[in-house]
Amino acid sequence: MSYLCSCRQFNLEHTLVNGQAFRWRVDSDRRWSCVLTRRNASNNPEMILVHLRLDGEQIEWATEPPGQEEFVRDYLRLGVDVIALGQEFCECDPSVHAAVQSFPGLRVLRQDPVECLFSFLCTSAAPLHRIRKSVEGLCRTYGRSYRADDGQEYHTFPEIEALAGATVDDMKALGLGYRARFVQATARQLLPRGGASYLLSLRERSYAEAKAALVSLTGVGEKIADCVCLFSLDKDDAIPVDTHIRQIAERHYLTTDTRSMTKATYALIGDTIRRRFGPMAGWAQQYLFFEDLFEKRAWSAFERQWATDDTTSSSDTPSDPS
């Protein structure tokens, strides 16, 4: 393995276990692995197995096939200096200082939009262990198998065509429940628009345009759309607003007039956080979200169920990570 960056610029747990991606595995040597999809101009998907591990103060990396450092850096968005960014956030709002200091190296990933969209379609009203199990089931059933050099088997995230051809009943059997209908319907809506190429093209459109395109899909509300915008479409000012973020906003920044999450309330919270933290406000939202998990003592179960194959539900596991 070769060295990638300092752990101050990239923390494995803070980034890979904060509810933005769901397929990273960690082994007994604390090596994190995931097979990711890279798309070229002709949209021919390529499988790349990425390994990451902390070695002292440095992050080691390796890929199969080898020599994919540019891809790894792009996925991890290592062009963003999170140390400087954290300092900017503290200047914008001193109350975020504790979160920035507690979670150094927390990054926002640049995921494949296909994986990001359909993964978050599996998150609605589901606990973490069920999300992971459903996503893994989709990959094993509809993704492609990849046999690593060490003999371990991995699976890619399914292509849109495979999900469009899946039956609702078969996906329900994987644990998706009512979300199976959303997955099938959204996949079938995307194909005539251009499939994966269409989703990738949303990176070139404005945040408002990309979000509007996403919420036109079955099962995609504002929060899922904002997750996809932030975690895969380069919209760094997207703010996924869930219960955690609403409570944080009401605690520090504003008072809302209703207990329900209306469209106006959602917009008010997002706009308030954007005004405070600027064009990278989505990254600030991740610090705030992560800190809230710790304050509610939800992290212990969150990490435990991520780092093991245990799928036993826990009452303090956050039910809707974002």
pLDDT for 310 equals 41
Rounded CA separation 23/21 (Å): 6
pTM of the complete model: 0.91
**Could you tell me if 62 and 10 lie in one domain?**
yes
Rounded CA separation 54/39 (Å): 28
pLDDT for 320 equals 43
CATH number for 165: 1.10.340.30
**Could you tell me if 124 and 164 lie in one domain?**
yes
Q: Which residues are catalytic?
A: 223
* Structural domain contains residue 150: yes
Q: Is the peptide bond before 127 cis (omega within 30 degrees of 0)?
A: no
* Structural domain contains residue 58: yes
Rg (CA), the chain: 19
pLDDT for 305 equals 53
pLDDT for 95 equals 86
CATH number for 283: 1.10.1670.10
* Enclosing domain of residue 266: 236-297
Rounded CA separation 138/15 (Å): 23
pLDDT for 293 equals 75
Taking the chain (322 residues) in runs of 10, the rounded mean pLDDT of each run is 93 90 92 93 85 96 96 97 97 92 94 97 80 93 95 96 97 94 98 96 97 98 97 98 90 81 93 96 93 64 50 35 40
Rounded CA separation 185/244 (Å): 29
Q: Is the peptide bond before 279 cis (omega within 30 degrees of 0)?
A: no
Question: Which of 204, 234, 264 delimits the end of a domain?
Answer: 234
> 298 near 318, Cβ under 8 Å?
yes
pLDDT for 301 equals 52
Residue (of 264, 217, 209, 258) closest to 238 by Cα position? 209
